[in-house]
Amino acid sequence: MLAINNIEVVYDKVILVLKGVSLQIADGSITTLLGANGAGKTTTLKAISGVLRTERGEITKGSIEFNGERIDGLRAHQLPELGIAQVFEGRRVFEHLTTEENLIVGAHVQRDSRKMHDGIERVYGYFPRLKERRHQQSGYLSGGEQQMLAIGRALMSVPKVILLDEPSLGLAPMLVAEIFGIVSQLVMAEKLSVLLVEQNATMALDVAQHGYVMENGRIVLEGSADALRANSDIREFYLGLNEVGSRKSYREVKHYKRRKRWLS
């Protein structure tokens, strides 16, 4: 459904951030993009959603295709109408608006008021807590509730693909498990495709079908979620497990040296 073909991204015309990135997102599946801070994961999402231009970035090489049509030349506001929605890192709800008003903003591409109302009720079906707080200013919601709202707002545009950036950031483990469970449910019920950027590799590989590992602006490894979970490098460097299954210390994981064969 979505294909990124050997793209390079440059900021301020001099800083090369993505260096020939290629990946594919299959229809009706969750694909995860793993990597440390600064690897280029969020930049990859912004390249897809057209947000790069607002940050003085541009795609200087390669192409991005959605259902066989190139979209890398489109503006950010055109992507939701095609069926691509992004949930940004840090949630970014409109804090002065109520929960329901945030959802209405997400439906700006929906011109049928009845369909918009149905969309709101569908979101409340997935996130009952939001319905309880529908008239509350979103700035007073908890972090988990704001993340639910950010996902629900993206659903209001009736997307085919959701770009989901660090949904676990700053949330308690139980809330993370709840949100990831709902995302998996959405993929099946709404026939969505999800590109999930996540540093919590364990959780990401539990819900994804396929994954990519990014380092220094390049894809260095890809495979099925099961294959990545079993890979000794992934187990050691991202899951914090050594060969016999015991957890390594934080200091050991933090200061690891990646095997050069990954970049060969």
191-225 confidence digits (pLDDT tens): 899 999 988 888 899 999 999 999 999 999 999 99
Query: Edge to edge, what strands does the sheet with 84-87 contain?
Result: 84-87, 161-165, 193-197, 30-34, 210-215, 218-224
What does the pLDDT read at residue 20? 94
In angstroms, the CA 230 to CA 228 distance is 5
In this prediction, the residues of the chain whose per-residue pLDDT falls under 70 are 239-264
What does the pLDDT read at residue 242? 56
What pTM does this model have? 0.86
In angstroms, the CA 170 to CA 238 distance is 18
Q: What domains does the chain contain, in order, with CATH numbers?
A: 2-230 (3.40.50.300), 231-258 (no CATH)
Closest residue by Cα to residue 43 from 69, 71, 4, 77:
4
What does the pLDDT read at residue 241? 57
User: What is the number of H-type helices and E-type strands within the chain?
Assistant: 11, 10
* Whether 165 contacts 87, CB under 8 Å: yes
In angstroms, the CA 50 to CA 46 distance is 6
In angstroms, the CA 5 to CA 25 distance is 12
